[in-house]
Structures are given as structure tokens and as C-alpha cells.
């Protein structure tokens, strides 16, 4: 069972991921928890580059850096944990690249999907929780965390395209995605996430 959290900056992904992990742990499922970019020593170095507000980056090299982190994560963390039969929970995965570098930066989706297939070896989540939020509100929430990173500094129109990109991905794969209204309270969202995960676990027979 492979679960990912997606959505704009400040949507509450990390908050809900932590709550889900607590529930899974209480249920005795000992999940593997990771994030993108990052999750491996290489990925952590790549993450520093990607979030550095001092760096200018074109769309394709940006996508390839995310892909490099992802390829390493799939091989070193995701596949091994899944083959041990663990529940794996990941904060962002390839849908973020399709939304940010595709819908947001305008790279052709077919190109991104082709490379992503190679990078992941076709590994797709069983369940993707999309926390949908007006990016203006999300950026306000994220700003409370401190200095904005490189992505948080991008303009609002970019973040609007990213939001639409996520919603289109969800519409194309309604069986994989659950789309939640991220303006709800953390408690309400936690209950909705848990209901979706229980459903998915039942379907997978875990």
C-alpha cells in the first residue's frame, strides 16, 4: 500500500501526513514515511539545490533534478519497503512534478510522463490524497513558517496553474485520488484521510 499526499504549499500535507502516520502506527502498521524531494542522502542534497532561493533554474533542469531525487527514492526506499509489505506514506511524488513543471511551468505533459515512467519504473501510488486549497491562502499559511523557499517565491498565477494541474490529474484518475477541501479543520481532514485510507486498505486486502 503506497499513499501519497499532494497539494500546494501550505495545504496541510505535512500536518495530515503526521496524523495519518500516528493512526497507522496505533493500528500496528508501522509505516515507512518519506518525502520528495529528499528521503535519501542524494535526495536531501538535491532538495537543498531545488529550494535554494538564490538559484535561477530553467524548467527542464528543475524537472530533471526532481526526477533524480525520485529515481533514487524509488530504488532505495519505496520499492524495498513495499516489497517488505509495509505501508509507505510519501509527502509529494510525481504528481507534484506534473502539476508544477507541467501545468505550472508549461513543460509538455507527455514528456514529463515518459521520463517519470522510466524514473519510477512504473511505480504508482494506490491512493493519493490531494489537499486542494486556494494558493493565496496556502502561501499565507506557508509564510508563517518563515523565509519563503524558491517555489514559495514564484508568482500567484504560477501557483493557480499548479492548483488546476492537480485538479486535472485527479479528474483523470478518480479511483486513485481523493480530493479534500483543505480549508476544513485539521481534525475534519484527519477523519476524511483516515476514511479514504481504510477504504483503500480494504480494497488491497491488507
Ligand X SMILES: Nc1ncnc2c1ncn2[C@@H]1O[C@H](COP(=O)(O)OP(=O)(O)O)[C@@H](O)[C@H]1O
What are the angstrom distances between the C-alpha of 184 and each of 11, 33, 132, 150, 191?
Answer: 10, 24, 10, 27, 11
Q: Nearer Cβ to Mg ion, position 62 or 91?
A: 91
Q: What are phi and psi of 170, to 5 degrees?
A: -65, -40
Quick check: 179 and 167 in contact, CB under 8 A? yes
Which of Mg ion, ligand X, none does residue 185 bind (CB under 5 to 8 Å by kind)?
ligand X
Contact mark string toward Mg ion, 67..106, x via CB under 5 A: ----------------------------------------
The least distance separating ligand X from the CB of residue 205, rounded to whole angstroms, comes to 30
69 Cβ neighbours under 8 A, 6+ residues apart: 36, 37, 38, 39, 40, 42, 43, 46, 47, 50
189 binds, among ligand X, Mg ion, none (CB under 5 to 8 A by kind): ligand X
State CA 62 to chain mean position distance.
Answer: 16
**Calculated CA dihedral for residues 15, 20, 23, 25, nearest 10 degrees:** -100
* 190 labelled binding-site residue: no
- Consult the annotation and say whether 97 binds a ligand: no
Q: Is 12 near ligand X (CB under 6 A)?
A: yes
Q: Is 23 in the site for ligand X (CB under 6 A)?
A: no
- Contacts with ligand X in 110-149 (CB under 6 A)? 141-142, 144
Which of 89, 162, 180, 189: binder of ligand X (CB under 6 A)?
189
Q: How many residues does the chain have?
A: 206
Q: C-alpha angle with apex 173: 168 to 176, nearest 5 degrees? A: 125
Residue closer to ligand X, measured from CB, 15 or 44? 15
- Tell me the per-residue interface mask from 169 to 188 with ligand X, x by CB under 6 A, - otherwise: ---------------xxx--
Which residues within the stretch 2-41 sit at the binding site for Mg ion (CB under 5 A)? 13-14
* Sign, CA torsion 104/122/80/82: positive
Binding site for ligand X (CB under 6 A): 7, 9-15, 141-142, 144, 184-186, 189
Binding site for ATP: residue ranges?
7-14
Amino acid at each position: 500500500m503506497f499513499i501519497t499526499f499532494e497539494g500546494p504549499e501550505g495545504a496541510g500535507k505535512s500536518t495530515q501526513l503526521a496524523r495519518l502516520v500516528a493512526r497507522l502506527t496505533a493500528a500496528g502498521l508501522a509505516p515507512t514515511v518519506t518525502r520528495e524531494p529528499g528521503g535519501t542522502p542524494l535526495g536531501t542534497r538535491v532538495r537543498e539545490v531545488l529550494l535554494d532561493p538564490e538559484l535561477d533554474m530553467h524548467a527542464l533542469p528543475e524537472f530533471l533534478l526532481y526526477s533524480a531525487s525520485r529515481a533514487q527514492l524509488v530504488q532505495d526506499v519505496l520499492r524495498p519497503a513495499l516489497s517488505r509489505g509495509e505501508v509507505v506514506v510519501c509527502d509529494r511524488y510525481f504528481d507534484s512534478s506534473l502539476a508544477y513543471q507541467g501545468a505550472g511551468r508549461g513543460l509538455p505533459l507527455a514528456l514529463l510522463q515518459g521520463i517519470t515512467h522510466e524514473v519510477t519504473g512504473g511505480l504508482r501510488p494506490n491512493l493519493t490524497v490531494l489537499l486542494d486549497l486556494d494558493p493565496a491562502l496556502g502561501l499565507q499559511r506557508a509564510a508563517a513558517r518563515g523565509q519563503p523557499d524558491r517555489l514559495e517565491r514564484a508568482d500567484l498565477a504560477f501557483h493557480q496553474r499548479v492548483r488546476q494541474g492537480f485538479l486535472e490529474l485527479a479528474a483523470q484518475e478518480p479511483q486513485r485520488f481523493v480530493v479534500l477541501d483543505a480549508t476544513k479543520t485539521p481534525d475534519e481532514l484527519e477523519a476524511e484521510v483516515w476514511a479514504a485510507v481504510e477504504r483503500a486498505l480494504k480494497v488491497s486486502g491488507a
